[in-house]
Amino acid sequence: MMRWAVNMRRMVMAAALALVGGTMPSLAADTVKLGMIGSVGDAPIYYALDKGYFTDAGIKLEMEPMGSLAKQIAPLSTGELDAGCGAISAGLYNAVNRAIPMKVVADKGRNAPGYGYNSIIVRKDLVDSGAVKTLADLKGRTIATIGVGSTDMSILNEAMKTVGLTYDDLKQTSLTLPNHLIALENKGVEATLTPEPVATMILDKGAGVRLTTVDRFYPDQQQTVIVFSNKFMKDRPEVAERFMVAYLRGVRAYMDALKDGLIAGKGADDVIASVMNHTGPKDAALLKRIFPVVIDPNGEVNLASMKKDWEFLKSKGLIDKATTPEDIVDMSYVKAAVKKLGPYNKS
């Protein structure tokens, strides 16, 4: 009943504004606080913000740069953040295990075929000397990822399985993303699992060589997601639905801008401009050369990939109870948004 009343109030106001040529004041926008990574992968959100999609939905979006989704879990649990986004990790499952309810509500990025957003990069001197030619040559070597406990561990396991080895045949270390380049230059690590645009920046610097991309051995791996806090879903479900409509509008425009493995389709320059407007790098030429992340235009997550990664993290003792991907995924918001927006047709 409350949701109906809010919708009716907005429709009445919209009709009044149309009649008087927009001279009446509009309803105050609903503030939504969103935890952000602050990366190129956030492009659809930046684009939606710049194009006024959130404003159209009656939402004032407040972006809170917080790095990884793992760092957003505490403020999501208290309701300080309404929503968050980032890579799935054991910490998300364990938070739910500790009775801190939150839900994965939409896709935010995957390694789709032809769009290898994440690369395994090997130190250039090891490739030049012939010491590392294939994934099998990484056995016993140290590889840096963004974090232990994330799905990066499962990605590495899938990579090594292609050559008859496993994750346990590697030595994993955790480094912040900017330090991937530094560690390769200083010979502190022998390889990295690195997302764009840092992956391309490493290649440009001559510090490493791309051995492979994740899409080649683990296509459509679910890398990042949108998460809603329990308080947001419980107290403001209608606002959450409007947020999702604005987000998917941004995703669809972003997907229109992807072509042939690059940000090179319709509206590409606008997408790149939005990225540069909100985060680094301020280099349009670089952004036109990277492998962009792919997002389902209907917001659906790849549950099969989430299950595979969950099983691996659980096998390593990193998930302390039996909470499964099905327990933390709620696709009702994207389904409601798609119902309002209609089917996606790539422009």
**Torsion sign over Cα 10, 16, 20, 25:** negative
More confident residue, 146 or 134: 134
Q: What is the pLDDT confidence band of residue 101, given thresholds at 50, 70 and 90?
A: confident
Residue 123 and residue 77 share a domain: no
Q: Average of pLDDT values for 149-156?
A: 94
The answer to whether the beta carbons of residues 36 and 81 sit under 8 Å apart is no
Please give the C-alpha separations between residue 111 and each of 118, 157, 222, 295, 308, in angstroms, as whole numbers.
Answer: 7, 16, 7, 9, 15
Q: How far apart are CA 268 and CA 271, in angstroms?
A: 5
Q: Which residues of 154-185 are buried (b: 16+ CB within 10 A; e: fewer)?
A: bbbbbbbeeeebebebbebeebebebbbebbe
Residue 195 and residue 143 share a domain: yes
For the chain, the average pLDDT equals: 91
Q: Average of pLDDT values for 259-263?
A: 97
Residue 231 and residue 150 share a domain: no
Segment 221-258, tens digit of pLDDT:
999 999 999 999 999 999 999 999 999 999 999 999 99
Phi-psi region of 177 (alpha: psi -120 to 50; beta: other; left: phi over 0): alpha
Domain of residue 195, residue span: 118-217
Rounded to two decimals, what is the model's pTM?
A: 0.90
Q: How far apart are CA 143 and CA 120, in angstroms?
A: 9
**Cβ neighbours around 226 below 10 Å, total:** 27
- CATH number, domain of 98, equals 3.40.190.10
Residue 321 and residue 237 share a domain: yes
| Count of residues in the chain | 347
Residue 326 and residue 236 share a domain: yes
Residue 228 and residue 170 share a domain: no
Longest CA pairwise span in the chain (Å) = 74
Q: Is the pLDDT of residue 50 over 50?
A: yes
Q: Is the pLDDT of residue 21 over 80?
A: no
The answer to whether the beta carbons of residues 314 and 154 sit under 8 Å apart is no
Q: Average of pLDDT values for 180-208?
A: 97
More confident residue, 257 or 177: 257
Q: Which residues pair with 226 in a beta bridge?
A: 85, 106
Q: How far apart are CA 171 and CA 72, in angstroms?
A: 27
Give the chain's domain count: 2
Residue 275 and residue 194 share a domain: no
Q: How far apart are CA 264 and CA 276, in angstroms?
A: 16
Domain contains 47:
yes
